[in-house]
Amino acid sequence: MADSQSRGPDLSKTEPLSLKAFAASLYHAERADNYFKFLHNFSEEELARFLQGLLLQVGDAIDDGNTDALTRFVQRGQVAAYAPTQTAAPFRPDFPDSPFAPMRKPLREATIALFSSGAIYRDDQDPYYPAELTYEQAVRDVRKARERIPSVRVIPAETPEERLCVGHVAYDIRAAQKDINVIFPLTRFRELAQEGSIGALAQRNYSYHGLTNIPRLMQESAPQWAHMLKDDGVDAVFLTAG
């Protein structure tokens, strides 16, 4: 075993890194990691508990060859970190009402469109963030995303999966890059149409970058997009959020 003490960095000259500082660095900063950025919502004690639990789960996953419990542990961590932060705000009003349009056709006759805030785009479309930035730079510059005017990409029904890309800067996109159906299930809906479970997948499906200028989204973009769907003649819309 190598003697790391003789060749390692001189730790006496570096600032000690607290757990909180480490977690903060995951949040769109120098160690940006959208999978685990939720850790920045935890207190130092919560962080310690979570990390110790994570290590236990990793050990079990290695020994058992089964990641189900590990997945569940991380998912519970995300719920614990994010849920308390979602309170009413100008961009997230506690609406007193809930507009409701009834289904007018059975599913087997209905044309259904996909609509996702997951920032899906085709390889010949713009990726939602400025072309002069790399994706990694756009992730670190997340505040700019909240200022950008909402824009939508049309995804035709027959688009092959390999032509679909993901440009969202605020969630971990690795799963969607491996299998776009985790957030934009175009292939699954084509299969449902083929087997007759639904009438058809709409010719035009849509995505936008969910982290955006919300007043503009609420006042202008969302009503415009609703009219586009009306013009498309779809019978229902299946929406996903990252």
Partner 1 sequence: MTVGHVARAIETAGIPTVCVYIEAFRPDAQLLKPARTLITPHLMGRPLGLPHRPDRQFAVIRAALKLLETAEHAPTMKLFTP
**Among positions 106, 130, 156, 196, the unique one binding partner 1 when judged by CB under 8 A:** 106
Does position 162 interact with partner 1 (CB under 8 A)? The reply is: no
Does position 57 interact with partner 1 (CB under 8 A)? The reply is: no
| SS3 call for 162 | helix
Cα–Cα distance for residue pair 209/89, rounded to 1 Å: 20
Does position 98 interact with partner 1 (CB under 8 A)? The reply is: yes
Does position 117 interact with partner 1 (CB under 8 A)? The reply is: yes
Cα–Cα distance for residue pair 75/81, rounded to 1 Å: 10
CB of 115 to partner 1, least distance (A): 6
**Among positions 75, 134, 151, 194, the unique one binding partner 1 when judged by CB under 8 A:** 75
Does position 30 interact with partner 1 (CB under 8 A)? The reply is: no
* CA trace torsion 72, 75, 81, 87 (10° rounding): -120
Contact 133, 93 (CB under 8 A): no
Cα–Cα distance for residue pair 149/222, rounded to 1 Å: 12
Does position 100 interact with partner 1 (CB under 8 A)? The reply is: yes
Does position 196 interact with partner 1 (CB under 8 A)? The reply is: no
Other C-beta atoms within 10 Å of 6: how many?
6
Does position 197 interact with partner 1 (CB under 8 A)? The reply is: yes
Extract the tokens encoding 118. Answer: 């997951």
Residue type, 76: R
Does position 93 interact with partner 1 (CB under 8 A)? The reply is: yes
Question: Judged by CB, which is closer to partner 1: 159, or 212?
Answer: 212
**Among positions 18, 130, 188, 194, the unique one binding partner 1 when judged by CB under 8 A:** 188
